[in-house]
Amino acid sequence: MTAQCPKMNEERLKVIDNIRAALERGDSFAKVELHDPVITDEDRQRIIYPFDNMRKSPVKRAKAHIARKIAESETKKRNKNTVIVGLENALSVSGGAIITCNHFNIMDNTVVRLLAQKCGRAKKFDIVVQETNIFMEGFFGFLMKNCNTLPVSASAQYMAKNLKPALQQLLSRGDFVLIYPEQEMWFNYKKPRALREGAYHYAHEMGVPVIPCFVEMREGEGYDDDGFLSVSHTLHVMPPIYPDASLSPREARADMQRRDAEAKRACYESVYGISLDDTFIPERDIAGYHK
């Protein structure tokens, strides 16, 4: 940390350029991060298809325990000043639920983990991640492989025969499962983005509510290690969205997706005091950005 205004990390600035380019071509699901692992069908066959989502082996259970302890330590360290608004909305859900949230940082799941802890679900919190994350190396790679994560894949066979049964089992035992419907991480992007339908498909099929969340980001006085202004977080938890039994399955899924998007949009406009629009202004839309 320094009192002087530092230069922002060049790679982060390239990511912001990628965000701008994705918005200009209307692709809010685009990968914008640099150096994401590139995997092949052979990699999927070897690693993803047999992935032990339920941690059945003793080795996997041991690694999951270690990873959860690390994640809990990181959650405590990174969220000393995090505020949760609407905790009662999550506490009102007695069984399993799917949590949806905006995705802006590789460790933003610690904000939602804090919510799970306050709801008594510290040991019943799972995260759905992109399959490329399973191929990460080092510290983050260990967490992505072991911290109660479940990869999603382009393989329909894996999704039907591995992921779906695992989600069913976890939700039926009362877990909170975090899914990022925005799909990709966009560094410190403040706005809510378009939502993929997967979370609502599973919520409807498995008869559980969606708990809509939105993380508000505010700049502080200091700077982070990348030269951006430090950022504090407020997690807004909106009322749970339950499947509408009077609608057809397709209509019910679309209804949940629409209501979640509306909740996130209303939250954004309320906390920032501005209307959600399609323009991109880094100083406004990227938390911590400065000139």
**Six token digits for residue 162:** 């591995």
Phi-psi region of 236 (alpha: psi -120 to 50; beta: other; left: phi over 0): beta
Q: What is the pLDDT of residues 209-267, one digit of tens each?
A: 999 999 999 999 899 999 999 999 999 999 999 999 999 999 999 999 999 999 999 99
The per-residue pLDDT for range 184-193, each reduced to its tens digit, is: 999 999 999 9
Q: How confident is the model at residue 1, as a pLDDT?
A: 44
Read off the pLDDT band of 2 (50, 70, 90). Answer: very low
Alpha carbon separation from 152 to 115, 198, 204 (Å, rounded): 23, 10, 18
pLDDT cut 90: percent of the chain above it: 96
On whether residue 3 sits in a domain, the answer given is no
pLDDT of residue 5: 84
pTM: 0.96
- Pairing mode, strands 229-237 and 210-223: antiparallel
> Can you give the residue range of the structural domain that contains 82?
10-285
Mean pLDDT of the chain: 96
As for how many domains the chain has, the answer is 1
Is 290 among the domain residues?
A: no
Spell out a b/e string for 120-132, using b for 16 or more CB atoms within 10 Å of the CB, else e: ebbebbbbbbbbb
Identify whether 23 is part of a domain.
Answer: yes
Domain membership of residue 231 (yes or no) is: yes
Question: What's the CATH code of the domain at 33?
Answer: 3.40.1130
Q: Does a structural domain hold residue 1?
A: no
C-alpha 59/C-alpha 30 separation (Å) is 35
pLDDT at 95: 97
Classify residue 63: in a domain, yes or no.
Answer: yes
∠ CA 203-145-63, rounded to 5°: 110
The residues, ordered by sequence, that sit 6+ positions from 208 with a Cβ below 8 Å of its Cβ are 95, 96, 97, 98, 171
Identify whether 291 is part of a domain.
no
pLDDT score at 197: 97
Q: Which helix (H) or strand (E) holds 167?
A: helix 164-172
**Average of pLDDT values for 49-76?**
97
Asked if the structure places residue 243 within a domain, the reply is: yes
Residue 18 has pLDDT above 50, yes or no: yes
